[in-house]
């Protein structure tokens, strides 16, 4: 069975323990969104689909002011998640609007190139700060994965920030 990207995120978080759609979105926003985002508009319809095909089931109502249905992964969901984890990776596609803008920025002139690079540098610097803030939580997770992926994100953003700085120097030298 082919899982959608959102289904993979949902099953992964539910494998850790029961959660509502809201809880899943909160977890996404604090962890996987740095490399794999999911919106409420993706999560809730996918939860319904996963219930319909038997990979997820309601586990009761969450406590709190709003009535939120809590879901749990089923044994079939565990099997689907494990099959996906053990299967081959799909094609990696980098989607970075800053790089797309930079690709075409030369058409608008050197000032635009420098401006795009500065904004890209700022974005990577902010990402580094956010990742460092959540690093202790990832370290405390006590299982393989979150901390290692966070370190990958840190290294990637540190490389990208350094690349932006070096490229800015080149652009300003060429003026």
Q: Which domain holds residue 57?
A: 5-86
| pTM of the full structure | 0.76
* DSSP states along 134-150: HHHHHHHT-SSSHHHHH
**Domain boundary, last residue among 86, 118, 153:** 86
* Number of domains into which the chain is organized: 2
**Domain boundary, last residue among 86, 111, 139:** 86
Q: Name residues whose C-beta falls within 8 Å of residue 153's C-beta, 6 or more positions apart in sequence.
A: 34, 35, 127, 131
Sheet strand arrangement including 19-20 = 19-20, 68-73, 56-62
> For the segment 151-169, what is each residue's pLDDT rounded down to a tens digit?
999 999 999 999 999 999 9
> For the segment 128-148, what is each residue's pLDDT rounded down to a tens digit?
999 999 999 888 887 888 899
């Amino acid at each position: 069975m082919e899982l959608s990207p959102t289904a993979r995120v949902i099953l992964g978080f539910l494998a850790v323990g029961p959660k509502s759609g809201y809880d899943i979105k909160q977890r996404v926003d604090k962890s996987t969104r740095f490399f794999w985002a999911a919106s409420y508009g993706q999560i809730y319809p996918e939860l319904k689909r996963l219930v319909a095909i038997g990979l997820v089931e309601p586990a009761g109502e969450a406590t709190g002011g709003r009535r939120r249905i809590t879901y749990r992964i089923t044994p079939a969901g565990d099997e689907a998640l494990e099959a996906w984890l053990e299967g081959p990776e799909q094609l990696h596609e980098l989607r970075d609007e800053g790089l797309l803008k930079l690709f075409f920025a030369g058409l608008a002139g050197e000032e635009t190139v420098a401006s795009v690079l500065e904004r890209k540098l700022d974005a990577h610097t902010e990402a580094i700060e956010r990742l460092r803030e959540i690093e202790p939580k990832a370290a405390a997770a006590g299982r393989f994965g979150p901390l290692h992926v966070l370190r990958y994100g840190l290294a990637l953003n540190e490389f990208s920030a350094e690349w932006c700085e070096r490229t800015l120097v080149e652009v300003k030298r060429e003026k």
